[in-house]
Structure 1
Amino acid sequence: MARAEWANYCSNSGSNNGRGKLCSYKKSTLVVCSINIFVALFVLHSLYNSLYIYPYNDSINAFKYTSDQVRKMEESIRIRKESEPTELIKLVEKLKKEFLQEERVVEVPESLKQKITNELLLRLRALNASANATEQREAVEGWRRAKLREVKLLIRGETTNSTILPEEAGVLARALGSGWTMFSEEIGLWIPLQIIHKEHDDKPEGVDEFDHEILPGKRLPPECHGTLHTDYGGVAVRWGITHPKESAYDCCMACLDQAKNARPDEKKCNIWVYCPSETGCFSPDIYEHKNQECWLKYAEQPKLNFKDTYSESYRSSHPNAPLIVPWVSGVVSV
């Protein structure tokens, strides 16, 4: 019974005391609310059954495959698996594992790293002052092979006459073997490649052998006075971080051009410093110096900052310093 009908019924029978008590406002409200709650619960129950029970039953019937359909799906899966290049996939996975193993960085203790670096320094210092890049590289490679043989004998217990401790042998064998590329970069060992320029075999007398060191771009002319593994100081005429050049030749030419075209109130470039290393070049400042940086500098009396290798005392106070000075630089005549 609706609220309006119930109120009409109560008003028509108000003279009857029994009905008047029954039809009091509070009781009538309670009865109507009870009826509404019952109806609401019934509706919710119906919705629940229609939404969750019937669709579930329908889904069971809807996704029922026939035996012929199942057979065709199994046949399709079998054909797809047979057509997969399983041998090629296995070979790729194997090569990937080997590659990752070779490229894995070997964690070498700092004390052992320092010991190896000092030995390399002694080996390089034993070379003639005129040793070129090929001779330096061969000396390092000969040292590495000899040290690797020494470490392997130490691992097998066939020698005790070694500067390497037995507990260091395993990690050093990996560092000098498969991890040599990463390890040599980590200690800052960078030696440029070398090549003879066939089109310039008629080298003028007095030109430095530096001209035979391969660097990106053209060969440096004599007026550049380029020298490997050197870093000159001076006032920056052109900030190298924002002044990349393709090659050391281009960097030197930029210095000569700046000196030629400088205004009367400008300092003329007489020092150029170039970073040829693909992994960047070390400097004790706060900046990260990248490959192809070209610094143009001026100094009334040019002075070397570093040459050939960083000293042991300097590397002790600058742990990130590499073994060899990576910069190429020169003092030009203006």
Structure 2
Amino acid sequence: MARGVKWGCSYKKTTLIVCSINIVIALYVLRSLYASLYTYSSHHDLGSAVKYTPDQIRKMEDSIRIRKAKEPVKLVEIVNRLKKESNKEETVVELPLQVKIRITDEILQRLRSLNANANISQQRGILIRALESDWAVLSENIGLWLPAEIVNQEHDDKPEGVEEEEFEEEILPGRPVPPECHVELHTDYDGVAVRWGLTHHKESAADCCQACLDQAKRAKPGEKKCNIWVYCPSETGCYSPDIYEHKNQECWLKYAEKPKLNFKDRYSEDYRNSHPNAPVIVPWVSGVVSV
């Protein structure tokens, strides 16, 4: 009897141990299955992310670009602009005082034209007609009429046969140039320099001409006498194809047996192409005097 009880206790312990082992094995199997499933899912996701071919990627990019291009951007801008315009408050333009007085006088004149026995309703009627039915005529009478279309035409008042002057009338600074100086605007004469203008400045073209006349009178026998004067009246200086920078009020005194022009009025297009710094108009003022 005692042996049977002892055997029963051993059987229960054995059963408990076997059950515990089975539970541990079951948990291990479940954990392994879960880990395998998670690993498979991760590999599957990674594999699906890189399965797109270059052609498929290009098509997707084209699709995105087409969708963006088809967006009604201009339509949205127009709608927004219309909303802003519709939300703007109406601008009330106040009439000038003179116009108000003329309107008042017109209305009073119409009211005075009524008979003395006119009642309030008649006065109200004439007032309404003045402001509504006859408003177009009233507006025209008081100067508020605006034409439907304004056409501006350019009229050429220049007499026939009169050509436009090539240069506008130019006034030289300083005192007037005497007639004996024979001044020529926009002119540069050639000649041998008897006085360099780089260090010889005069306040006006008349003074430069006078310096030329004085040099000719004081010249010693055998010395060249000045018979050409060249002056720079431009405040920004005058152009010359040499290496020097010619400034305002330079006065060159020259001599030439037969005076010859360097430049007159304008520098030619060919000259300006070969000399990019040359202006269009000759800036110098010159004159040939008799000695």
Structure number with greater Rg is 2
**Range class of TM-score, shorter chain:** 0.3 to 0.5
Q: Normalized against structure 2, the TM-score is what?
A: 0.43
